[in-house]
């Protein structure tokens, strides 16, 4: 009987086997150490209570906001969010919830330990004038309590400076600058590139000013788009200047000099931008970081080790005052608040995007909740799918049929599809700077038959009907183009009928304010597209009045995390506080134009309207 002997490895095989075993062991060891370190951190963090944040009897709250201020944060897996923060991954811009900022300032106003707020806005990336004004309004209330607000900065972008202008004093580094470069709108155009790639582009649109598809049909901005964009950007800049000028006690001309005048003054300041800002009264003092510490210590005192003035960060203070997740809502009448933030897409979407089905489900929950007497739909959206917009709007009709009034409250943007979902509300409230309108629709289709032919690939086949075949490998026939254009026009007519019916206009009047043209809040009110100007609180009060309730609570209705997700979020959130460092996402970080272009193209891949027709305002996301 023959016995099979084990194959003997060669010397090289044994070397590689030993090397791989060592490498694999090391890999497992490192991963296990990392895993158990995270688990240990979670356990320790879970055992910490909120009282571990120490605040001196005289302290400054440092409002060191990092990222973009939003109405609703983008949904992110809690573990992914923790790992990104712990590893300083800045591939996704950070977001700051507006409600958190307002809550922190409001609590600080009534906290006897907090004597001042320090606006450290170095990493604030913006968020819309209306959100900045909401924070400013809360800062004004803080100041009325006899407390100081001090803005500090190495430099100020226009968004940072707008918020800084609410401070009692604005301090700037001697080598810093204030960049008040106004608002602008520049796009990337692909017509020539598509021609070189031999891509056939089919555009279907309605509205003289509906320019969202221009990048695919032109190499420059059309005259109509330039006129329309210049008009609303000028109005927005006017609001910016008037607000800052009033708070700084300056004429608006101080923020809108002609280049020749600027060069003269700049030369007089010895070409020193910081000195120019001081002489122009944009800032109050030029101070170094050490001098800032000394100035603030005079207000709140030094820490025991004399290394810093007494202070508490925004994130630490938020951990003390933010309500616990899942607390029981008190009984009684309620006004529900539902946030619709992001691009409108068909189907179910996570927070930070508006899914036609998922947002309609939130509205349905409000309709079926007997304690909810009225609904405020807070909209911050440039639009998207026309089909999904109508799904959401129809649910608003059902709320009204259930005798529950709906008030639309527009945030920074409520345009195109964003206006569609607002149109049938009992009342529409906007902020003076809200970007809205853009009532128009379009469709976009591309085929690659010439691109494929160029590399020797052909497409051919048969069909059982003459129905249009939408295959990117074959050209779109004239009959198909006609059908798609007529379908797009039909959706536009439906949009006009909705506006006409609910805004008490004739179709002709609705068409005159539509055509895809963008308006800001003040203009929209004059044109009848908006009822009143005000903030979210005004909209809530109005909704309660329409419902006939006086004693009520507000209730935010949103997609709920599973118990497991909520637990991980709470635990990992506490751990991430250990790693707290301001993000180095400077607003001046270089972003190649190619990256911006790729992001725009990636955005197109998300569109999923069943009819391929979109009510979307590309320019409104500036």
Indicate if 407 and 315 belong to the same structural domain. no
Phi–psi pair at 523, nearest 5 degrees? -70, -40
Output the pLDDT for position 417. 96
Where among 321, 351, 369 does a domain terminate?
A: 321
Strands 383-385, 614-616: pairing is antiparallel
52 pLDDT exceeds 70? yes
Band of pLDDT at residue 331, cut at 50, 70 and 90:
confident
Residue 135 belongs to a domain: yes
Measured between alpha carbons, how far is 188 from 614 in angstroms, rounded to an integer?
A: 20
Is 416 noted as a catalytic residue in this protein?
A: yes
Output the pLDDT for position 260. 86
Comparison of pLDDT for 331 and 386, the residue scoring more: 386
Q: Is 111 helix (H, G, I), strand (E, B) or coil?
A: coil
In the DSSP assignment, the letter for residue 186 is -
Residue 101 belongs to a domain: yes
Average pLDDT over residues 323-348: 84
**In percent, how much of the chain has pLDDT > 90?**
65
Please give the C-alpha separations between residue 355 and each of 358, 394, 399, in angstroms, as whole numbers. Answer: 5, 14, 18
Measured between alpha carbons, how far is 534 from 429 in angstroms, rounded to an integer?
A: 6
Band of pLDDT at residue 262, cut at 50, 70 and 90:
confident
Average pLDDT over residues 577-598: 47
Comparison of pLDDT for 86 and 468, the residue scoring more: 468
Indicate if 383 and 289 belong to the same structural domain. no
Pick from 178, 21, 133: which is nearest to 431 by CA?
133
Measured between alpha carbons, how far is 303 from 305 in angstroms, rounded to an integer?
A: 5
Indicate if 375 and 287 belong to the same structural domain. no
Indicate if 382 and 295 belong to the same structural domain. no
Measured between alpha carbons, how far is 431 from 352 in angstroms, rounded to an integer?
A: 21
510 pLDDT exceeds 70? yes
Indicate if 438 and 551 belong to the same structural domain. yes
Domain count, the chain: 2
Band of pLDDT at residue 53, cut at 50, 70 and 90:
confident
Asked if 614 and 443 touch (Cβ cutoff 8 Å), the reply is yes
Indicate if 495 and 434 belong to the same structural domain. yes
Output the pLDDT for position 614. 81
Indicate if 307 and 438 belong to the same structural domain. no
Band of pLDDT at residue 608, cut at 50, 70 and 90:
confident
Average pLDDT over residues 151-157: 97
Output the pLDDT for position 611. 80
Output the pLDDT for position 286. 98
Q: Which range is least confidently modeled, 87-101, 346-360, 400-414? A: 87-101
Indicate if 422 and 544 belong to the same structural domain. yes
pTM: 0.84
Residue 508 belongs to a domain: yes
Measured between alpha carbons, how far is 242 from 253 in angstroms, rounded to an integer?
A: 10
Sign of the alpha-carbon torsion through 338, 342, 344, 349: negative
10-48: pLDDT as tens digits:
554 555 566 667 777 777 777 677 666 666 665 555 555
Cβ-proximal residues to 231 (8 Å cutoff; 6+ apart), any chain: none
Band of pLDDT at residue 433, cut at 50, 70 and 90:
very high
89 pLDDT exceeds 60? no
Average pLDDT, the chain: 86
Cα 313 vs. chain centroid, distance in angstroms? Answer: 23
Residue 168 belongs to a domain: yes
Comparison of pLDDT for 378 and 477, the residue scoring more: 378
Measured between alpha carbons, how far is 221 from 164 in angstroms, rounded to an integer?
A: 34
Q: Is 132 helix (H, G, I), strand (E, B) or coil?
A: helix
Indicate if 293 and 398 belong to the same structural domain. no
590 pLDDT exceeds 60? no
Comparison of pLDDT for 102 and 350, the residue scoring more: 102
DSSP-assigned beta bridge partners for residue 63: 119
Band of pLDDT at residue 563, cut at 50, 70 and 90:
very low
Q: Give the CATH number of the domain where residue 476 resides.
A: 3.90.226.10
Output the pLDDT for position 169. 98
Residue 269 belongs to a domain: no
Q: Which range is least confidently modeled, 71-75, 180-184, 231-235, 481-485? A: 71-75
Measured between alpha carbons, how far is 151 from 170 in angstroms, rounded to an integer?
A: 5
Comparison of pLDDT for 545 and 600, the residue scoring more: 545
Band of pLDDT at residue 2, cut at 50, 70 and 90:
very low
Characterize 547-570 residue by residue with b for buried, 16 or more Cβ atoms within 10 angstroms of its Cβ, and e for exposed. Answer: beeeebeebebeeebeeeeeebbb
Band of pLDDT at residue 350, cut at 50, 70 and 90:
confident
Residue 338 belongs to a domain: yes
The residue segments making up the domain with residue 91 are 53-178+283-321
Token readout for 530 is: 């908006």
Output the pLDDT for position 209. 80
Residue 575 belongs to a domain: no
Indicate if 163 and 84 belong to the same structural domain. yes
Cβ-proximal residues to 324 (8 Å cutoff; 6+ apart), any chain: none
Please tell me which residue in 416, 433, 438, 542 is annotated as part of the active site: 416
Angle at CA of residue 197, ends 192 and 203, nearest 5°: 65
Indicate if 297 and 339 belong to the same structural domain. no
Average pLDDT over residues 479-486: 91
Output the pLDDT for position 62. 97
Residue 38 belongs to a domain: no
Is 200 noted as a catalytic residue in this protein?
A: no
Comparison of pLDDT for 77 and 193, the residue scoring more: 193
Measured between alpha carbons, how far is 547 from 577 in angstroms, rounded to an integer?
A: 42
Please tell me which residue in 122, 131, 158, 210 is annotated as part of the active site: 210
Output the pLDDT for position 432. 97
Comparison of pLDDT for 569 and 614, the residue scoring more: 614
Average pLDDT over residues 592-617: 66
In the DSSP assignment, the letter for residue 10 is P
83 pLDDT exceeds 70? no
Indicate if 296 and 380 belong to the same structural domain. no
Nearest-10 crossing angle of helices 11-46, 563-576: 90
79 pLDDT exceeds 80? no
Average pLDDT over residues 201-209: 87
Measured between alpha carbons, how far is 159 from 135 in angstroms, rounded to an integer?
A: 12
Angle at CA of residue 209, ends 601 and 424, nearest 5°: 90
Output the pLDDT for position 576. 44
Band of pLDDT at residue 94, cut at 50, 70 and 90:
confident
Pick from 475, 353, 344: which is nearest to 421 by CA?
344
Angle at CA of residue 352, ends 524 and 225, nearest 5°: 40
């Amino acid at each position: 009987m023959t016995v099979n002997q084990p194959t003997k490895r060669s010397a090289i095989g044994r070397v590689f086997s030993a090397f791989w075993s060592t490498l694999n062991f090391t890999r497992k060891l490192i991963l296990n150490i990392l895993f158990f370190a995270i688990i240990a951190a979670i356990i320790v963090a879970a055992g910490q209570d909120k009282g571990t944040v120490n605040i001196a009897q005289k302290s400054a709250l440092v409002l060191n906001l990092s990222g973009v201020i939003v109405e609703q944060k983008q949904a992110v897996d809690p573990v992914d969010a923790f790992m990104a923060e712990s590893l300083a991954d800045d591939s996704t811009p950070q977001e700051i919830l507006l409600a958190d900022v307002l809550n922190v300032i409001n609590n600080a106003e009534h906290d006897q330990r907090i004597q001042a707020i320090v606006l450290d806005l170095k990493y604030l990336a913006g968020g819309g004038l209306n959100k900045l004004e909401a924070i400013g309004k809360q800062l004004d209330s803080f100041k009325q309590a006899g407390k100081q607000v001090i803005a500090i900065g190495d430099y100020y972008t226009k968004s940072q400076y707008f918020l800084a202008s609410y401070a009692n004093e604005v301090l700037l580094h001697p080598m810093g600058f204030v960049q008040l470069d106004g608002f602008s709108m520049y796009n990337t155009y692909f017509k020539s590139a598509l021609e070189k790639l031999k891509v056939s582009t089919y555009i279907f649109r309605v509205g003289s000013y509906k320019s969202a598809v221009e990048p695919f049909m032109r190499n420059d901005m059309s005259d109509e788009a330039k006129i329309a964009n210049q008009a609303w950007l000028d109005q927005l800049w006017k609001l910016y200047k008037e607000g800052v000028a009033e708070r700084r006690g300056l004429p608006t001309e101080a923020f809108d000099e002609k280049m020749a005048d600027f060069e003269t003054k700049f030369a007089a300041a010895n070409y020193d931008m910081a000195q120019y800002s001081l002489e122009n009264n944009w800032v109050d003092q030029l101070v170094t970081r050490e001098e800032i510490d000394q100035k603030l210590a005079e207000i709140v005192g030094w820490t025991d080790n004399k290394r810093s003035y007494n202070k508490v960060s925004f994130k630490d203070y938020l951990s003390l005052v933010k309500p616990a997740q899942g607390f029981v809502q008190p009984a009684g009448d309620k006004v529900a608040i539902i946030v619709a933030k992001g691009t409108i897409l068909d189907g179910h979407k996570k927070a930070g995007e508006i899914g036609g089905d998922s947002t309609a489900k939130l509205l349905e929950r409000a309709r079926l909740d007997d304690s909810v007497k009225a609904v405020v739909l807070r909209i911050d959206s440039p639009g998207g799918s026309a089909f999904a917009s109508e799904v959401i709007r129809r649910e608003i009709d059902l709320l009204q049929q259930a005798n529950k009034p709906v008030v639309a409250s527009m945030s920074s943007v409520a345009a195109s599809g964003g206006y569609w979902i607002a149109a049938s509300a009992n009342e529409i409230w906007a902020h003076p700077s809200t970007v809205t309108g853009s009532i128009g629709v379009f469709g976009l289709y591309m085929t690659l038959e010439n691109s494929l032919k160029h590399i020797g690939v052909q497409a051919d086949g048969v069909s059982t009907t003459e129905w249009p075949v939408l295959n990117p490998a074959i050209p779109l026939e004239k009959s198909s183009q006609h059908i798609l254009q007529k379908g797009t026009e039909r959706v536009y007519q439906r949009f006009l009928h909705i506006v006409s019916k609910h805004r008490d206009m004739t179709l002709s009047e609705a068409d005159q304010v539509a055509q895809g043209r963008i308006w800001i809040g003040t203009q929209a009110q004059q044109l009848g597209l908006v009822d009143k100007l005000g903030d979210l609180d005004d909209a809530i009060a109005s909704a309660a009045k329409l419902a006939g309730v006086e004693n009520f609570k507000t209730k935010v209705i949103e997609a709920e995390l599973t118990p497991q997700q909520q637990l991980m979020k709470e635990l990992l959130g506490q751990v991430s506080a250990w790693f707290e460092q301001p993000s180095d996402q400077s607003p001046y970080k270089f972003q190649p134009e190619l990256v911006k272009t790729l992001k725009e193209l990636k955005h197109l891949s998300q569109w999923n309207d069943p009819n391929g027709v979109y009510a979307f305002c590309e320019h409104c996301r500036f």
